[in-house]
């Protein structure tokens, strides 16, 4: 009797767990079960943190980052002969990876790398990004500078942008490049997700600075976040509940970036912040118009969501939603024209797919050389998942493509 009850209970729990973990995924996705498990774990962690937040135990993002940081210590690699230094550039924490010196003194190429995590999570020092930067430094024989910008919720926009700008400017000074034996004509700026956002924004800012002595040769953006104007692009609509980064979670990352009010979240989801009656939005509308910027194959049958009336008070409370330093897709053409050769990696299973595709299109129209690398079977965030226990073939493949492009172009 007892055994039967236990069996029923166990079956019930298993069914509940399967129901919790089960997520309808497009048939094209690679390793669907592994992805569901990753997503379920991440969702469970987020829900625990939301509960703790609600109970007043601390900000949910701070707790989540603590959990990620603990998990992220699992598989730390060191790299044969690699010199890894933690230092500060203009008061900003950075980590530098220098490959072992060669016999003859040659100048190296270099990548400034900015990690992702919704401006709130992860670190240069955790395994995910430490390992990525190590592999980059090794395979490219390049000096990699990884920036430990300050995080939400302790700091908000534009602190993250300023940190990356200041550290990068410091690094690009001729005497600092000389100190690291870096060739000033072979430097790239790069980042993934929110790091891709910061990379693109800082690249725009520095490209307009007449006083800058060194210029980036390239920028490489991995599934970047580029706009908060339209949360109903086809990729936002199609991936509303997609793994790792559902739409509502991305909207909340934006609100937290600006220290805004979560009460606006539902209104942002329906584009009430950029409705036709919001006058500040009108001059930006054509810069995110995906009916002209992306192909019919990707648009599918989705329709523009442009409410006639919305809520003017949202942009009054959070004007930064349309600040180009936060949303580099909104930049004007004169600025886009100044951007270096660009690589953009996008994933089909990602609300941010169209952010990347629209930026690629606008840069191309402005005359910038573009490599758009789209992965039909990959999901947002996959590139850091390359080692046990979160090893995905999607991670290895995207990382290999990215590094190959850098290797051939930097």
Ligand X SMILES: *[C@@H]1O[C@H](CO)[C@@H](O)[C@H](O)[C@H]1NC(C)=O
| Residue 380 bears catalytic tag | yes
| Residue 273 bears catalytic tag | no
Nearer to ligand X, 204 or 272 (CB): 272
Nearer to ligand X, 312 or 396 (CB): 312
Kindly state whether residue 28 participates in binding ligand X, applying the rule CB under 6 A.
no
Q: Which of 60, 95, 311, 399 binds ligand X (CB under 6 A)?
A: 311
DSSP symbols for 371-385? EEEEEEEEETTGGG-
Under 8 Å between Cβ of 111 and 142: yes
Under 8 Å between Cβ of 97 and 129: no
Q: Which of 25, 40, 270, 312 binds ligand X (CB under 6 A)?
A: 270
The token duo for 135 is 């592999």
The token duo for 399 is 């990382």
The active-site residue out of 60, 156, 273, 380 is: 380
| Residue 170 bears catalytic tag | no
Which of 29-37, 69-77, 143-151, 265-273 is the region at the interface with ligand X (rule: CB under 6 A)?
Answer: 265-273
Rounded to an integer, what is the distance from CA 185 to the centroid of its chain?
A: 26
The residue sitting closest to ligand X, measured at its beta carbon, is: 267
Kindly state whether residue 309 participates in binding ligand X, applying the rule CB under 6 A.
yes
Helix-then-strand count for the chain, H and E: 16, 10
Q: Give the up-direction half-sphere exposure of residue 357: CA atoms within 13 A in the CB hemisphere.
A: 25
Q: Cβ neighbours of residue 143 under 8 Å, at least 6 residues apart?
A: 96, 97, 98, 99, 108, 109, 110, 111, 137, 180, 181, 182
The active-site residue out of 122, 127, 193, 275 is: 193
Nearest alpha carbon to residue 111 among 397, 401, 368, 403: 403
Q: How far is the CB of 169 from ligand X (least distance, A)?
A: 9
Q: How far is the CB of 308 from ligand X (least distance, A)?
A: 8
Contact mark string toward ligand X, 33..52, x via CB under 6 A: --------------------
Phi, psi of 123 (to 5 degrees): -160, 155
Residues in the interface with ligand X (CB under 6 A) total 10
Q: How far is the CB of 267 from ligand X (least distance, A)?
A: 3
Q: Which of 30, 267, 280, 409 binds ligand X (CB under 6 A)?
A: 267
Q: How far is the CB of 361 from ligand X (least distance, A)?
A: 29
SS3 220: strand
Instruction: Restricting to residues 201-260, name those near ligand X by CB under 6 A.
Output: 209, 211
Nearer to ligand X, 185 or 266 (CB): 266
Kindly state whether residue 312 participates in binding ligand X, applying the rule CB under 6 A.
no
Q: How far is the CB of 385 from ligand X (least distance, A)?
A: 34
Nearer to ligand X, 270 or 372 (CB): 270
DSSP symbols for 73-132? TTT----TT-EEEEEEETTEEEEEEEPPPPSS--PEEEEEEE--STTTS--TTSHHHHHH
Nearer to ligand X, 47 or 266 (CB): 266
Residue 319, H or E segment: none
Q: How far is the CB of 282 from ligand X (least distance, A)?
A: 17
Nearer to ligand X, 250 or 394 (CB): 250
Q: How far is the CB of 50 from ligand X (least distance, A)?
A: 20
As beta bridge partners, residue 345 has 222, 373
Kindly state whether residue 271 participates in binding ligand X, applying the rule CB under 6 A.
no
Nearer to ligand X, 62 or 311 (CB): 311
Instruction: Restricting to residues 113-142, name those near ligand X by CB under 6 A.
Output: none
DSSP 339: P
Nearest alpha carbon to residue 342 among 168, 173, 224: 224
Residue 410, H or E segment: none
Instruction: Please state the length of the chain.
Output: 410
Nearer to ligand X, 269 or 382 (CB): 269
Under 8 Å between Cβ of 339 and 203: yes
Q: How far is the CB of 360 from ligand X (least distance, A)?
A: 28
Kindly state whether residue 266 participates in binding ligand X, applying the rule CB under 6 A.
yes
The active-site residue out of 256, 350, 354, 373 is: 350
- The burial class, CB within 10 Å (0-12 / 13-18 / 19+), for 5 is exposed
Instruction: Restricting to residues 288-307, name those near ligand X by CB under 6 A.
Output: 307
Q: Which residues bind ligand X (CB under 6 A)?
A: 209, 211, 266-267, 270, 272, 307, 309-311
Which sequence positions are flagged as catalytic? 193, 350, 380
């Amino acid at each position: 009797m007892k055994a039967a009850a236990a069996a029923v209970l166990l079956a019930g729990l298993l069914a509940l767990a399967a129901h919790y973990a089960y997520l309808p995924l497009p048939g094209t996705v690679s390793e669907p079960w592994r992805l569901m498990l990753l997503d379920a774990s991440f969702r469970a962690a987020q829900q625990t943190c939301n509960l703790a937040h609600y109970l007043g135990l601390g900000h949910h993002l701070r707790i989540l980052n603590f959990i990620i940081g603990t998990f992220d210590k699992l598989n730390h690699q060191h790299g044969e002969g690699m010199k890894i230094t933690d230092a500060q550039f203009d008061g900003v924490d950075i980590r530098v990876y220098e490959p072992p010196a060669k016999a003859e003194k040659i100048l190296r190429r270099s990548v400034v790398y900015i990690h992702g995590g919704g401006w709130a999570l992860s670190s240069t020092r955790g395994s995910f990004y430490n390992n990525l930067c190590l592999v980059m430094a090794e395979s490219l024989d390049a000096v990699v500078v990884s920036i430990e910008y300050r995080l939400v919720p302790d700091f908000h926009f534009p602190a993250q942008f300023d940190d990356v700008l200041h550290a990068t400017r410091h690094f690009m000074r001729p005497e600092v490049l000389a100190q690291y034996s870096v060739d000033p004509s072979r430097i790239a700026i790069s980042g993934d997700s929110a790091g891709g956002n910061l990379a693109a924004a800082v690249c725009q800012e520095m490209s307009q600075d007449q006083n800058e002595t060194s210029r980036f040769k390239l920028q490489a953006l991995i599934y970047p976040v580029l706009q908060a104007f339209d949360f109903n692009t086809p990729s936002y609509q199609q991936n509303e509940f997609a793994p790792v980064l559902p739409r509502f979670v991305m909207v909340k990352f934006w609100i937290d970036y600006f220290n805004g009010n979560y009460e606006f979240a539902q209104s942002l989801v329906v584009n009430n912040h950029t409705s036709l009656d919001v006058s500040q939005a009108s001059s930006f509308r054509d810069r995110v118009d995906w009916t002209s910027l992306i192909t019919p194959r990707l648009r599918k049958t989705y329709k523009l969501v442009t409410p006639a009336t919305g809520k003017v008070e949202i942009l009054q409370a959070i004007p930064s939603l349309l600040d180009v330093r936060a949303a580099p897709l909104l930049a004007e053409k004169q600025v886009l024209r100044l951007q270096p050769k660009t690589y953009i990696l996008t994933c089909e299973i990602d609300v941010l797919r169209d952010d990347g595709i629209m930026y690629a299109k606008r840069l191309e129209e402005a005359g910038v050389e573009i490599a758009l690398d789209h992965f039909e079977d990959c999901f947002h965030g996959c590139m850091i998942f390359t080692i046990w226990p979160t090893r995905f073939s999607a991670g290895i493949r995207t990382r290999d493509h990215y590094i190959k492009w850098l290797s051939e172009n930097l």
